[in-house]
Amino acid sequence: MATAGKVIKCKAAVAWEADSPLVIEEIEVAPPQKNEIRLKVIAASICLSDVYHMYKGKPKDGFPVVMGHEGAGIVESVGPGVTEFKPGDKVIPLYLSQCRDCKFCKNPKTNMCEKDCIIRTTIQSPSEIRFTCRSKPLLQFMRTGIFSEYTIKNKIALVKVHDDAQLDRVFLFGCGVSTGYGAAINNAKVEPGSVCAVFGLGAVGLSAVMGCKHAGASRIIAVDINEERFEKAKILGATDFVNPKLHQKPISEVLIEMTNGGVDYSVECVGQVDVMRSALESCIKGWGVSVIAGWTDLYDFSARPIQLIAGRTWKGTSFGGFKGKDDVPKLVLDHMAGRINLDVFVTHNMNLDQINEAIKMMMAGGW
């Protein structure tokens, strides 16, 4: 391409500081360096983690930053040492890398990678900076910065997908859908005929409902204080619907009564520690499994030891337990074959200039 090897000027949504709206700026995107790929962004979405970083987490070393981490694009150019990708390839950035060389990547028990950014969400050394604006360096949120017309990714944090993939749908596998779907099938390991509960019906929660359905659950209880979300949950397989605000007793007691002892599996998709505890306490003793899929790092969580002593399991998930480079292409093929419904997740189509409006809409929906 004509832009290969040159600095590209383009629009991006920059968070200059915490608690402030994003600013649409013209930024400079450097050419890809060794083991890097520069891509033209085709589709992206706002994830709760983006809003969390701006308005709740607010790390002091996390600004200024180009936000966004869930998206898809087309390779514009590649740097030295890159043989896996070529210009024109359709790709999905991964916030959870897969180097395939570390002890975690080589272990089938986990999808962690020593080089991932779960802890290092924005921290980049000066030598890693590829974005600038008015001569100031800009970070890339989760080392992605997808709210830009072009971005840079390391080859271990990018995956090629099928040439016929619909990028304005499969970009959802970059975070939310993979996280919720995998929480059910990989982490909870939902079994046929089981009873499940999903707490929170945003993109992650709806994906967890879909995962429970695909795993063969006989009953899926959707829990949310926003009843407008129940219709989509029903489309994806939910059988029962509970609004905690309509009950005087704790939601865990409500679910225990509904299920004669508790659910076999629960998935927490809200990112609030009190909901995490409720999800655990909703599980049946002896074998109940509760998975934390919601993101937060502000508060400690707690539960009475008897909850675990009695045989329940409490675990977490990142990216639904999927190894990105191995599994995302398979998820894309499942979508193309009609096995994973992504249309239901797309509620609005907006351009980059409307991003603050989109964030307000997300926050108004309850977060």
Q: Which residues contact 297 (CB under 8 A, 6 or more apart)?
A: 57
- Set 45, 113, 175, 247: catalytic member: 175
Backbone φ and ψ for 144, nearest 5 degrees, come out as -125, -60
Based on the residue annotation, tell me whether 53 is a catalytic residue of this protein: yes
Residue by residue, DSSP assigns 322-336 as: --HHHHHHHHHHHHH
Assess if residue 76 is contained within a domain: no
> β-strands 219-223, 240-242: how paired?
parallel
93 in Cβ contact with 156 (< 8 Å): no
Based on the residue annotation, tell me whether 214 is a catalytic residue of this protein: no
pTM metric for this prediction: 0.96
- The whole-number pLDDT of residue 119 equals 45
- The whole-number pLDDT of residue 367 equals 52
Based on the residue annotation, tell me whether 162 is a catalytic residue of this protein: no
Q: Which residues contact 157 (CB under 8 A, 6 or more apart)?
A: 93, 94, 95, 96, 97, 98, 116, 117, 143, 144, 324
> β-strands 90-93, 158-160: how paired?
antiparallel
Number of domains in the chain: 1
Nearest to 279, CA basis, from 311, 245, 248, 315: 315
Assess if residue 169 is contained within a domain: no
Assess if residue 28 is contained within a domain: no
256 in Cβ contact with 262 (< 8 Å): yes
Assess if residue 226 is contained within a domain: yes
- Set 20, 45, 53, 148: catalytic member: 53
Assess if residue 79 is contained within a domain: no
Full domain range(s) for residue 276:
177-320
3-state secondary structure of 172: helix
- The whole-number pLDDT of residue 125 equals 81
Assess if residue 90 is contained within a domain: no
- Set 47, 105, 117, 283: catalytic member: 47
- Set 69, 266, 269, 335: catalytic member: 69
CATH number for position 189: 3.40.50.720
Nearest to 285, CA basis, from 309, 317, 301: 309
Q: Note down pLDDT in tens along the chain; length 367 residues.
A: 789 999 999 999 999 999 999 999 999 999 999 999 999 999 999 998 999 999 999 998 999 999 999 999 999 999 999 999 999 999 999 999 999 999 999 999 999 999 875 544 446 888 899 999 999 999 999 999 999 999 999 999 999 999 999 999 999 999 999 999 999 999 999 999 999 999 999 999 999 999 999 999 999 999 999 999 999 999 999 999 999 999 999 999 999 999 999 999 999 999 999 999 999 999 999 999 999 999 998 899 999 999 999 999 999 999 999 999 999 999 999 999 999 999 999 999 999 999 999 999 988 875 5
Assess if residue 181 is contained within a domain: yes
The token duo for 276 is 């995490």
Assess if residue 201 is contained within a domain: yes
Based on the residue annotation, tell me whether 99 is a catalytic residue of this protein: no
